[in-house]
Amino acid sequence: MLSSLSFVLLSVVFPSVLAATTYDMVKEYSGSTFFDDWNFYGKFDDLTHGDAIFVTKNVARSSKLAYVDPTTNHAIIKVDNTSKVVFNDKRNTVRIASADAFDVGSVWIADMYHVPFGCSVWPAFWSQAPNWPKGGEIDTFEHWNMELHNQMTLHTEPGCTQASPLQTSTVVNSTNCAFNANSNAGCSVMDPRDSSYGAKFATAQGGVFVTEFAASGISVWFFPRSSIPSSLQGNASSFSIADLGTPTANWPAAGCAVDTFFKAQHLIFDITLCGDAAGPPAVFAQTCSGVCYANYVVGNGSAYNDAYFDVASVRIYSVTGTNTVRLGSAALGTSASAWAWAAAVLGGAFTLLAL
Ligand SMILES: *[C@@H]1O[C@H](CO)[C@@H](O)[C@H](O)[C@H]1NC(C)=O
Ligand SMILES: *[C@@H]1O[C@H](CO)[C@@H](O)[C@H](O)[C@H]1NC(C)=O
Ligand SMILES: *[C@@H]1O[C@H](CO)[C@@H](O)[C@H](O)[C@H]1NC(C)=O
Ligand SMILES: *[C@@H]1O[C@H](CO)[C@@H](O)[C@H](O)[C@H]1NC(C)=O
């Protein structure tokens, strides 16, 4: 009696020590319905200046740039590697953003077997709030060209830094998350394991990226397939953060007030070509030879045979007893911009009627 009472008191006094946050699955993207709740960007890369056209859902489907592999039941998201691109044209690829957004108190777990890589290729699996940089950005997976390691990064409004992280990575590239500092490098941590990116990720049959978006801090774990914790194996519909061990990268709320700098996040998969990060000649030359656009994007596309995501599932979890899903709507079969255009035209029609 006495001992259970003191346990209760301790729980109240030291919640951060004793709390082992549990999460329950609230949404899953997988199998034949994987692509149902995403918006396809539907125009050229006017966001990061890549030599890429992010196709509409219809084009992605008809040209098999976004499809569910009937053999594995995994989602494939890829760069066009079969079309000849002539000088001055861009190459087709994909950018999708989840219709729903996921608020503080969420975890997203992406199970992948292959990530895009190759000279001129710049892939990311990441998230952001609608009015960037307001509401923040969380990059769970990103790198470019023939780099060997995953890079995990936050981008925010000024005032957020990485301070006193509890993380396994020893490679901290930058600690100021502000978009207007250090050419928007963000606060970035590299995963020093070769299995975290590129050909060696694929050889190890990929693995699982876990992103915890908690008021107490943001954390990313990467588990290569051979070391996925048992509590995440199979179709785990709930798990405890305590079972995951120390994260690969961690941004505690002490340096960055998560509730202030971050709002509900839309998940994004994209692959662009060259552009602001992969294309500058000095960056490109670090791991590739030749000229990013002229020697890779232009031509028969054979440079892009490895430029694809192979995703078994993306699962969203909320803190037990809550639901952090903020419902949005996916445009039907077309791009988000076509949807906005239709809304504008309808709005115009209503204006005429009103006159
Ligand atoms: C981060 O630092 C490591 C080690 O110095 C370096 O190899 C890597 O290229 C850096 N990442 C970025 C994005 O600059
Ligand atoms: C996992 O469980 C969810 C919810 O119970 C279900 O919708 C989904 O189909 C399952 N996925 C697999 C791969 O078994
Ligand atoms: C595609 O282009 C590459 C590089 O220019 C060349 O090595 C390769 O033979 C070409 N493949 C085909 C099928 O034309
Ligand atoms: C394009 O890449 C896929 C793998 O993503 C490969 O299976 C296919 O053979 C490639 N196509 C050509 C024409 O090389």
109-124 confidence digits (pLDDT tens): 999 999 999 999 999 9
Mean pLDDT for 168-191 is 97
Looking at residue 207, its pLDDT comes to 98
If pLDDT is split at 50, 70 and 90, which confidence band does 221 have? very high
Mean pLDDT for 138-165 is 98
Assess whether pLDDT exceeds 60 at residue 130: yes
User: How many structural domains does the chain have?
Assistant: 1
The ligand whose atoms approach the alpha carbon of 287 most closely is 1
CA distances from 241 to 139, 161, 217 (A): 20, 23, 13
- Residue 344: count other Cβ atoms within 10 Å of its Cβ: 10
Q: From the CA of 81, how far away is ligand 4's center (Å)?
A: 6
Assess whether pLDDT exceeds 60 at residue 354: no
Which domain range does residue 248 map to? 27-331
Domain-embedded: residue 10: no
Mean pLDDT for 147-153 is 98
Domain-embedded: residue 344: no
Q: From the CA of 217, how far away is ligand 2's center (Å)?
A: 28
Backbone φ and ψ for 166, nearest 5 degrees, come out as: -110, 95
Looking at residue 236, its pLDDT comes to 86
173 in contact with ligand 1, CB cutoff 6 A: yes
Domain-embedded: residue 341: no
300 in contact with ligand 3, CB cutoff 6 A: yes
Q: Are strands 106-114 and 308-319 parallel, antiparallel or unpaired?
A: antiparallel
Q: What percent of the chain has pLDDT over 70?
A: 88
Q: How far apart are the first and last CA of the chain?
A: 76
Backbone φ and ψ for 113, nearest 5 degrees, come out as: -105, -20
CATH number of the domain residue 71 falls in: 2.60.120.200
Ligand 4 nearest-atom number relative to CA 81: 1
63 in contact with ligand 2, CB cutoff 6 A: no
Looking at residue 18, its pLDDT comes to 40
Q: Which residue has the higher pLDDT, 349 or 257?
A: 257
Assess whether pLDDT exceeds 60 at residue 343: no
Domain-embedded: residue 323: yes
287 in contact with ligand 1, CB cutoff 6 A: no
For residue 129, how many C-alpha atoms fall within 13 Å in the half-sphere facing its CB?
Answer: 20
- In the numeric block, the tokens 């998940």 are attached to 267
Looking at residue 234, its pLDDT comes to 82
Mean pLDDT for 260-265 is 98
Domain-embedded: residue 43: yes
Q: From the CA of 58, how far away is ligand 3's center (Å)?
A: 28
Name the closest-CA residue to atom 2, ligand 2. 235
Mutate to test the pocket of ligand 1, among 148, 171, 187, 194 (most ligand atoms within 8 A of CB): 171
Domain-embedded: residue 17: no
Assess whether pLDDT exceeds 50 at residue 13: no
Residue-averaged pLDDT of the chain: 90
Q: Are strands 266-273 and 95-98 parallel, antiparallel or unpaired?
A: antiparallel
81 in contact with ligand 4, CB cutoff 6 A: yes
Assess whether pLDDT exceeds 70 at residue 174: yes
Looking at residue 245, its pLDDT comes to 97
Q: Among this protein's residues, is 137 annotated catalytic?
A: yes
The ligand whose atoms approach the alpha carbon of 143 most closely is 1
Mean pLDDT for 321-330 is 94
Domain-embedded: residue 5: no
